[in-house]
Amino acid sequence: MDEKYQEFFSKQTVDKWSLMDYNNWLIKNFDHNQPVKSHRKFYSILTDILVNDDSSAKTTKAKFLLKNKKKDSKNANLLLKNPKILKIIHEVPEKWKKEEKK
């Protein structure tokens, strides 16, 4: 499986896992906007985690996300119709960047 799709799950804490955050992360890091492919990969990785992972926190979150697949996909697709909105949502304002440098 393409490693860039799996990278999200190792870089984000379990409580941050969601289809929306996954889409945002792909767009931000790879300028990727192929919702059908990315959604399929997201749920495929969750299924793999459910079957193969020993962490109860990960398997619990994977079960929850798989159970809510239909609702989450619908909401994500609404946002993905305009990916510019997703980038704006996650942009760090310039004033915050300046404060971090101090």
The lowest-confidence range among 17-26, 29-38, 42-51, 74-83 is 74-83
Residue 44 and residue 29 in contact, taking contact as beta carbons nearer than 8 Å: no
**86: which 2 tokens?**
């997703």
pLDDT in tens, 38-53: 888 988 999 999 899 8
Residue 25: φ, ψ to 5°: -65, -45
Interatomic CA distance for residues 43 and 53, integer angstroms: 15
pLDDT of residue 47: 92
Give the pTM: 0.69
Task: Give domain limits for the chain.
Answer: 3-89
- Three-state SS for 34-66 is CHHHHHHHHHHHHHHHHHHCCCHHHHHHHHHHH
